[in-house]
Chain A
Amino acid sequence: MWFLLLLVLPVAGCFRVSPPDGGSQAQFEGPRTFNAADIALPSSYRIELVASGLTFPTGVTFDADGIPHVTESGYSYGEVWDTPRLLRIDRQDRQTVIAVGENNGPWTGVTYLEGSFYIAEGGTHRGGRVLRVERDGNIRPLLSDLPSFGDHHVNGPVIGPDGQLYFGIGTFTNSGVVGEDNYRYGWLQRHPSAHDTPCRDVTLRGINFTSMNPFTPRADDEAVTGAFVPFGTVTRQGQVIAGRLPCNGAILKMPISGGTPQLVAWGFRNPFGLAFSPDKQLYVTDNSYDDRGSRPVHGTGDLLWLVQAGTWYGWPDFHGLLRLDHHDHFIPPGKPQPPVLLAQHPNQPPKPIAVLGVHSSSNMFDFSRSPFFGHVGEAFIAQFGDLSPTAGKVLAPVGFKVVRVNVENGIVEDFAVNRGRVNGPASKIGGGGLERPIAARFSPDGSALYLVDFGVMTVGQGGKVRLPWATNKPSSEPRRGTGALWKITRSSTAP
């Protein structure tokens, strides 16, 4: 028995006693260096640097001439604001500013159709928006006041085969309950009455959670908060939370000329990446729960979903097919099992197409359509990488690479990773490779996969967000000017 225990211990028994060792936990003095040779790809593929010096880049699209355009976010976790911008990237890294946004980032993604760019604006200050941007830099909001100024924002957008503009709205919270973790993110200080909004009516079980109260200076002050209500508000059993549009944790669509948004599907947590497959099916990457806040959830990998119209996808009570009270699956070490919040569920969530790494932050992706590039019909997903320990402890860096997913069988394969004895961002493991891939998109002819690299973001004591009674809580430290754009091509079709 002891022998068996010793064999098993190195594999499982060390989580509690091992220190967290996420990819964010690095010292970075700068400047960032680049070396494509430090990135490993399958044979016959090569990667090159297209642009560097970008500040918090998030999305890439292409105009009618196939020229890449990149969004710079204008906001990053860590409560760092900058100017949202749309940049054209010409040869030899010549960068031209096409449009400049307001102080309401993050701009999380961009798409292009018939002379206009469509940008998702997160809305940290004045609520989320969907913007139409002309080539002369003129910006016109198509939609405003979206409930997206919490932990997560407006994401996407993509143009569907029906000519509509599809976009995602992430949830305010980790798992439905506003808590001191949201104060630490920063937005609860600006919007103290904000909370999640369901798309359809939901009935609560009346489960409430006690947390520290960050609005008072005393460390022992507490607040009690239920689901889908403002911080410090108690819910009761049988209470109905009215659904409405626009909601969050959802995918919506609207005409590209503007107009009333329609619900596509809901019950997501943070539907970050949206893409249509070659057979015109909508897929989405969903950043799953963190081990933080009043209702922490452990061990839930990010999900790739096939989106079926009108379906509820499980948030805040499921991970994939499983309820959060399923046996011992989602219990954070040393914390209680997350209780189910809803008295009834709209439907049993469908099975995810693929389950990706826990805390990998699997974000924007695209489908290969070119036989020359290969893997036609597979999804290439950019993984931003973990934010350990603020999002939850990991034993080793997760993400910081590009994976490809066969959507027919859910098999996940690494595609672009940094070389080295272990996985991780270049700022942690050394070299001049990838930091935080956040978007992967193919060129219009399908011959090249462009990869937006957000740049260096460590987690440490240098961030701006502080609680009055907890001065040593770590927060994100994004580094301006470290973002980049890479390009992956295939040199031959030979294996």
Chain B
Amino acid sequence: MIRTALLISIITIASVALSCSARRSEPIAGPLLLSSPEIAEGRKIFMDHCHQCHPGGEAGLGPSLNNKPLPAFAIRTQVRHGFGAMPAFYENEISETELDSLVTYLKALRQHG
């Protein structure tokens, strides 16, 4: 059962990552509609902490985010604990409320375009 879940996860992630471009910026996909204050706030947090390694959610120093179907809890875990070359961001850097907004923004960005 676990093996099957792992296999499905790998195939799903790999297929999405390989098939879908991460490009979501305005010249390519049009302007992102900031449909809620939370998305706007999340974009601000993203610019302060994430954009430098994942410009616009695309790959750069780090891998792309826009074409990875990560659930919210995985994003939160990644941000709080870091992994590999990515540092951890503690609550005095990104508060819980800000992290909620960041996750909402990343979902909106992923679905854009």
Contacts and interface: CB of A to CB of B under 8 A. Distances in A.
B21 to A, nearest CB: 5
Nearest to B74: A7
A392 to B, nearest CB: 8
Interface residues of B, number: 49
Given A12-B63, A356-B52, A423 B23 contact: yes
B87 A411 contact: no
A14 B84 CA distance: 7
A11 interface: yes
A396 B59 contact: yes
A8 interface: yes
B60 A8 contact: no
B9 A299 contact: no
B2 interface: yes
B52 A42 contact: no
Contacts of A355: 47-48, 51-52
Contacts of A396: 58-60, 63-64
Nearest to B75: A11
B84 A12 contact: yes
Contact of B62 (A7, A15, A392): A15
B74 A8 contact: yes
A423 B70 CA distance: 22
Interface string A11-23: 1111110100000
B47 A7 contact: no
Given A421-B21, A422-B59, A410 B47 contact: yes
A414 B27 contact: yes
A4 B44 CA distance: 27
B21 A422 contact: yes
Nearest to A413: B26
B88 A3 contact: no
Contacts of B48: 355, 410
Nearest to A334: B85
Interface in B14-64: 14, 17, 21-23, 25-28, 30-31, 43-44, 47-48, 51-53, 55-56, 58-64
A13 B9 contact: no
A12 B59 contact: no
A356 B47 CA distance: 8
A15 B60 contact: no
B109 to A, nearest CB: 12
A301 B51 contact: yes
A299 B70 contact: no
Contact of B63 (A11, A301, A328): A11
Contacts of A410: 44, 47-48
B103 interface: no
B26 A421 contact: no
A6 interface: yes
Pick from B6, B44, B58 the residue with the most CB of A within 10 Å: B58
Interface of B: 2, 5-6, 9-10, 13-14, 17, 21-23, 25-28, 30-31, 43-44, 47-48, 51-53, 55-56, 58-65, 68, 70-71, 73-74, 77-78, 82-88, 90
Given A12-B62, A356-B51, 6 more contacts: A6-B9, A8-B74, A11-B68, A43-B30, A358-B61, A421-B23
Interface of A: 2-4, 6-16, 18, 40-43, 298-301, 327-331, 333, 354-360, 392-398, 409-417, 419, 421-423
